[in-house]
Amino acid sequence: MAVVLSITNQKGGVAKTTTTLALAHAFARGSTQKKVLVIDLDSQRNATSILLDSRDITPENSVYALFQTNKTISSTLHATKKENLFVIPSSLHLVEVESQLTGALDGFFRLNDALQTLRQEFDYILLDCPPSLSVITINAMVAADFLLVPLQISKFSIDGIQNIRDAVTTVNRRYNAHLKIAGGVLTLHDTRTTLAQAMIPEVEKILPILKTTIPRSVAVEEAHLMRQDIFDYAPQNKVASAYTKLAEELLSLFAHYPTQQA
């Protein structure tokens, strides 16, 4: 049974997609060698554009289909050039889903329903969320076992984290009692800024922060441009070793909990 990890923060540009891609590769490669699925829930399609060659993505073979009541899930699964790594791509049609789900009685459960079969096929399912606390992000929270919150420390990020925390409390009470916060992960982190260091205790009042932090490196943007993962592009880079550590930290955290539908 898969562990479902939602990478969530309504703030834009905090490295959700970068973290999703790096963790997906870390889980699928090396000694871990697990079967991994990335679901791109963002109509910006950033994860999709890195993982898939340009090919025809239609509503029927993309994440759009997962949100429909009559769905064929198998047609949405795409192999990537990496062994063990699959993606359900995003499509521009995803923007229509917002209005389709608003007012639908089961509007928050469509993704969770779709994952019931996918959970049997994969070891890890990673959900790359859009930068909003939309009905799609709530679907991710309802479907997930764990929430990972990439964040940069600032006054505004603290306000945003409180909103995520409140959403998790509501989701726990009403929709998915199993959802756990794996923690916040400091991305684009600069340990030299004393302001950021000083604000960490404020963030920790709202949600736990994982031990591993992800430093900045130009290699991340370069790897994206080359459509490569950070481990292939710059295996010796500090960001590659940080994401390896983050993957290990998460794996030991997952091991402490039974998964949702096990």
Ligand X SMILES: Nc1ncnc2c1ncn2[C@@H]1O[C@H](COP(=O)(O)OP(=O)(O)OP(=O)(O)O)[C@@H](O)[C@H]1O
Please give the residue ranges that form the binding site for ligand X (CB under 6 A). Answer: 12-18, 42, 44, 46, 131, 187-188, 214, 216-217, 220-221, 224, 239
Q: Which one, 12 or 30, has the nearer CB to Mg ion?
A: 12
Least Å from the CB of residue 17 to Mg ion: 3
Which of 13/30 has CB closer to ligand X? 13
Q: How far is the CB of 121 from ligand X (least distance, A)?
A: 25
Contact assessment for residue 5 and residue 250, using Cβ atoms and an 8 Å cutoff: yes
Instruction: Give me the helices (H) in 37-90, please.
Output: 46-51, 63-66
Return d(Cα 23, Cα 37) in angstroms, integer.
11
Instruction: In whole angstroms, give the CA distance from residue 10 to residue 160.
Output: 7
Report the nearest approach of Mg ion to the CB of residue 55 (Å).
Answer: 21
- C-alpha 133/C-alpha 146 separation (Å) is 16
Chain residue whose CB lies nearest Mg ion: 17
Which of the listed partners (Mg ion, ligand X, none) does 217 bind, with a CB threshold of 5 to 8 Å by partner kind? ligand X
Which tokens is 23 given? 């963790």
For ligand X, give the closer residue by CB, 46 or 112. Answer: 46
How do beta strands 124-128 and 3-7 pair?
Answer: parallel
- Smallest distance, Å, CB 16 to ligand X? 3
The residue among 5 and 260 lying less far from Mg ion, judged by its C-beta, is 5
Nearest-angstrom CA–CA distance, 127 and 7: 6
Backbone angles phi, psi at 100, to 5 degrees: -65, -35
Selection from ligand X, Mg ion, none that 224 binds (CB < 5 to 8 A by kind) is ligand X
Closest CB 217 distance from ligand X, rounded Å? 5
| Residue among 133, 134, 155, 30 at smallest CA distance from 82 | 30
Partner whose footprint covers residue 6, from Mg ion, ligand X, none (CB < 5 to 8 Å by kind): none
Nearer to Mg ion, 61 or 137 (CB): 137
Nearer to ligand X, 45 or 180 (CB): 45
Beta strands in 78-123 (DSSP E): 78-79, 85-88
Instruction: Strand 180-186: give its sheet, edge to edge.
Output: 78-79, 85-88, 36-40, 124-128, 3-7, 146-151, 180-186
Residues that bind Mg ion (CB under 5 A): 16-17, 46
**Residue 110 binding: pick among ligand X, Mg ion, none (C-beta 5-8 Å cut-off by kind):** none
